[in-house]
Amino acid sequence: MRTADLLLLGAAQVVTCDGGRAAAKRGPREMNDLRVIEDGAIAVRRGKILAVGPTNDITRTYRGMQRFYCRGRTILPGFVDAHTHPVFAKMREDEFARRTRGEDYEAILAAGGGIHASAEALREAPQSALVADVRARLDSMLLHGTTAVEAKSGYGLTPESEVKSLRVIQKAAAQHPMTAARTFLGAHVVPKEYHRARAAYVKLLIEQMIPRVARQRLASFCDVFVEKSAFSVKEAREILRAGKRHGLRPKVHADQFRDSGGAKLAAELGAISVEHVDATGRSGIRALAKAGVIPVLLPAAALFTGLTHKPNARALIEAGCAVALATDFNPGTAPSENLALTASLGCSLLGMTPEEVIIAITRNAAAACGLQENHGRIAKGRPANLVVLDAPSYTFLPYRMGTNLVHQVFVNGRKVVKQGRRVRQAAPR
């Protein structure tokens, strides 16, 4: 008998999301291949997965210090939320109410609200208060089964407050079990004070902000919101190229409200991912598939902004893309940290299968933010980042729309959510 620290036994299903050589699963065949073990078990030692297989095989080989019986439950890889904006000082419920009365998202933004209102509030907010807010938001994500997240700045829009935002993510994650990949989104919109001098803000981004963020190792990725109300393709190209020169991989907020060529730019620059793509046309989709850029679809944001457009998930998958799904958690267009709800919308709004949405919030989401080594699949030698759902099969995850089925969450083999509640450790790591 071999000794494990932890044994999870008798799960109705262990959904490994394993298999295949590439980091992400592409196209319909791979994205529907979940690799499920019925009556499955997992052995963990020193935070890593020693073995995964049928319960009979695991109990024959391993003796465990800690044993959990998962009868009637389903184990999945910890979810990865590949696109979030968690650093903000205030919610924007008033703007939401105004939109229910007919005001338009882009018109509010153009009038100095929306992202501009968030920037005003964030600039004033002390770093310590923002860290506490982000930690609480990470807690809420963890309770919904998310164990890794991509987190963007973008509500600062000055060198100081963008740096502050990235430090906030760094500090909050250091005090939390979740992993956070950081993205510099200084090019979220042109801040109000530069409205008559757009070129000067682009210059500030390229000559000061990007070099500073890179020098201080505050981000791995550089993102630009390419949209009529934000940056043009030409401006974005310059900004993302500058990011690349400084070692920041490109990501693009593309074609959210209209096809402005953002997806094609992502393909041209070899971006790691392209996000939203609600209005991307056929040629943009072909370009993404050819360049191997991961489309990160955000159906909660599309729904919350009135569903004027929605991403063509079927065409993206059929074209051979490795599609991911994310919440887009932010105070304007997607105030929900529930990634299972996003998965549900992936099925009901975007026509994806339960298998595809699960790959899209685990394996492919991890690849979209460079976290594929430690997240997104259950496999021997990988860290034990796991979610135990109170459900007899994985189909329940998208099916039980909006209901939190998370029973337990393990991060590096340590239990951090127990019976749907956070387990607090004595001392921070």
Residue numbers of the site for ligand NIG (CB under 6 A)? Answer: 85, 114-115, 118, 225, 253, 256, 301, 328, 330-333
Cα–Cα distance measured from residue 164 to residue 150, given in angstroms and rounded to the nearest whole number: 17
Give the residue among 224, 270, 214 at the shortest CA–CA distance from 247: 214
Work out how close the CB of 253 gets to ligand NIG at its nearest, in angstroms, rounded to a whole number.
5
Work out how close the CB of 194 gets to ligand NIG at its nearest, in angstroms, rounded to a whole number.
17
Binding partner of residue 385 among Fe ion, ligand NIG, none, CB under 5 to 8 Å per kind? none
| Pair of tokens at residue 136 | 């609480």
18/328 with CB nearer ligand NIG: 328
Strands 48-54 and 36-45: antiparallel
Work out how close the CB of 112 gets to ligand NIG at its nearest, in angstroms, rounded to a whole number.
13
| Pair of tokens at residue 190 | 């042109």
23/334 with CB nearer ligand NIG: 334
Binding partner of residue 332 among Fe ion, ligand NIG, none, CB under 5 to 8 Å per kind? ligand NIG
Cα–Cα distance measured from residue 318 to residue 352, given in angstroms and rounded to the nearest whole number: 11
7/297 with CB nearer ligand NIG: 297
H or E element, residue 268: helix 262-269
Give the residue among 241, 374, 263 at the shortest CA–CA distance from 321: 263
Work out how close the CB of 118 gets to ligand NIG at its nearest, in angstroms, rounded to a whole number.
5
189/405 with CB nearer Fe ion: 189
Amino acid identity, position 17: C
| Pair of tokens at residue 260 | 């402005």
154/243 with CB nearer ligand NIG: 154
259/390 with CB nearer Fe ion: 259
Strands 62-69 and 2-15: parallel
75/279 with CB nearer ligand NIG: 279
Work out how close the CB of 83 gets to Fe ion at its nearest, in angstroms, rounded to a whole number.
6
Work out how close the CB of 166 gets to ligand NIG at its nearest, in angstroms, rounded to a whole number.
17
Say whether 374 sits in a helix, a strand or coil: coil
Work out how close the CB of 94 gets to ligand NIG at its nearest, in angstroms, rounded to a whole number.
13
- b/e 70-92 (16+ beta carbons within 10 angstroms → b): beebbbbbbbbbbbbbbbbbbeb
164/251 with CB nearer ligand NIG: 251
Residue with structure tokens 């921070």? 428
Binding partner of residue 333 among ligand NIG, Fe ion, none, CB under 5 to 8 Å per kind? ligand NIG
Work out how close the CB of 253 gets to Fe ion at its nearest, in angstroms, rounded to a whole number.
6
| Contact indicator for 368, 271 with CB cutoff of 8 Å | no
Binding partner of residue 256 among Fe ion, ligand NIG, none, CB under 5 to 8 Å per kind? ligand NIG
Binding partner of residue 225 among ligand NIG, Fe ion, none, CB under 5 to 8 Å per kind? ligand NIG
Binding partner of residue 261 among Fe ion, ligand NIG, none, CB under 5 to 8 Å per kind? none
| Sites of contact with Fe ion (CB under 5 A) | 328
Binding partner of residue 388 among Fe ion, ligand NIG, none, CB under 5 to 8 Å per kind? none
Give the residue among 425, 385, 419 at the shortest CA–CA distance from 404: 419
30/278 with CB nearer Fe ion: 278
Say whether 324 sits in a helix, a strand or coil: strand
Question: What order do you get walking across the sheet with 294-297 strand by strand?
Answer: 79-84, 146-152, 179-187, 221-226, 249-254, 273-276, 294-297, 324-325
| 137: CB partners within 8 A, 6+ apart | 86, 329, 337
Binding partner of residue 115 among ligand NIG, Fe ion, none, CB under 5 to 8 Å per kind? ligand NIG
| Contact indicator for 33, 15 with CB cutoff of 8 Å | no
Work out how close the CB of 34 gets to ligand NIG at its nearest, in angstroms, rounded to a whole number.
28
